[in-house]
Structure 1
Amino acid sequence: MIDSKDLLAAGAAADLVPLRFRLVELPPLPGDDSSKALALNAQGDCVGASFLKEIGNRPVRWGVQDRQAKSLLVPPSTTNATAHGISGVGEVVGSADVAGSTHPLRWDRAGSLTFLSESPESNGWAFGVNNAGRVVGDTPMSRSPRAAVWERDGSHLILPLPEGALMSEARAISGSGHVIGDALFAGKTRAVRWLPTGDTVVLNLPPGFVESAAIGISETLDVVGTVRDPQDSDTAAYWRTNGVVTVLGSLNGDGSSTALAVNSFGWVVGRSTTRSGAQSRAFFWTEGTGILDLASLVENAPGDFRLGAAHDINDAGQIVCEGSGNGSGRGYLLEPVYHVEKGRPY
């Protein structure tokens, strides 16, 4: 367990870093086998999936009141469906496998379901949504994935390819409309930002790396994701708004890592994976602390418990994780032991 004196010894500002977290289980639907939590909003509402072997994944939402899983409506003949993102106004987006095709979906605050518009080839995925109701993901164009934005009225826009790119994918959107993802250039993937103006920016590669992908963006427009070296090893990376990129490293003994989300304080979460790829651990990173095993910061950890990946973090310091307890997969919410007031923890 890290305490305040340990963090201060590492040169971190104690008023900028959460020191401990309290674990809250996000259970599956009654009778289901397991759950996984993938996203949360500023209010702490969480979304993800509940799994039953005979049915597959079912999209669910855990509210702030009781943290019990509530199912989201799915189309008939659905075999798998997952909620991937939730906005601050409660709109949820995700994807479902229906009759052999994957469809991007939106649920409004009341739970009503909408199929998002797609290309003639069908298929599509929705990953993120902002408070204006703009959804990002990708949809096939001439059999190649293309980053897309769907408006609240159902219309959609295929985002322009950076010069020389062959295909693209959008993974997240900020409140101001900045979209991030990646594009493929002659067999190499590069992290990309689409500006609200429609312009595209290919993010910098740090020395010694040949590929990259952007996965998360904060409201202050910092970006996180991964960079890949010539040996195909991935390492978590953090792009600040000034263009500087920081390689975050992996947890001790691991061979690779991926950053999945960042908040406005620059706190980064993700997963660190063993060299064999057989197991992963959720990590937490700040500039002052470096990369930390997130499970070691949990003050009420049960005996049979692990965190495999941290998927999202909000500006209140709440984190949603995928893990396991008592032998089955579980979604978890991590609550910091203090509150955030006027932009600063106390």
Structure 2
Amino acid sequence: MSGTSTPGSGTGSEGAAPHEVAVLVRPGVLPMELGLVHQIFSRARAADGRYGYRVRTCAPRPGTVTTDADFTVGVEHGTDVLDTAHTVIIPASHAADEGADVLGDGMREALARLGPQTRIASICTAAFVLAEAGLLTRQRATTHWLAVEHFRRRFPDVLLDPDVLFTDNGRVLTAGGEASGIDLCLHLVRQDMGSAVANEVARRTVVPPFRHGGQAPYIPYPAPENSHSPGTAELREWMLSTIDRPVTLAALAAQAHVSVRTLTRRFQDEIGMSPLDWLLRQRVGLARELLETSDLPVEQIAARCGFGTAAGMRRHFIAAIGVSPRSYRATFRGP
């Protein structure tokens, strides 16, 4: 992979210098993201005990840099450290990422210092920086789920995948949210130094070495509504009141005293989806709530939500959320 086979790539071979990692920060940086990069890479050791990485924090204007918390950080290095960095990681800065001038305050000049083989990664909304710099054009990328629609409007030529924890295009990588930065950094350690080292770093950090699923389990799941178009409101209330019962599109149309075609058109106009798709979202949403807040067995939840069987619920739940109901419950309620 580009940037990992350069001299000093941190493989732990005899005489190899540590892989140089530069963390490029800006005013308003998220402290968790800044800290997790140092936490993961600074714990990566080769079999002979030598550290695989040297991590340095830099800024276009070194010195005191504000964070999005009530404290500042002191940044010693300027962007000259980017000249020799093998990997550059940009944490999010909520104060700047989604603004029009995301490459202002020296960021454009900083990125111009990177060599063609330098590996570069963003965490959370720092994907806006990479996209604005043209590094994600026609590339697969992700960002925090709250910023997805804004990102799509600004960068329609980026292949945005809002569900995954991170993406890897070889030289350019992106992570979805703050904690996804841990997944991304472990992924880089795994590529550079092998699974054994990455797993040991994960154990020391008390995090899973690899998380299955994506951002979907953390995204609120309401159906889009249009309060100015209440034409299907009465039918939707009835659907919710009978959510545990199987229903067909023809039965819904009969309940609304319209044709199937008319009902489908009205739902599409008002809700943005078909009646059965809307009902499925409500069932998944109710299942999520019951998995989080109740001790009901999965079989009972499946019946109460209209899935019929636990197997049926599992199939639809994985398709919508990316993980099984039991895994979801373990994440949000505990084993």
How high is the TM-score relative to the length of structure 2? 0.24
Q: Tell me: higher relative CO, structure 1 or 2? Use CA pairs within 8 A at least 6 residues apart.
A: 1
Give the number of the structure whose alpha-carbon radius of gyration is greater.
Answer: 2
Higher helix share: 2
Higher strand share: 1
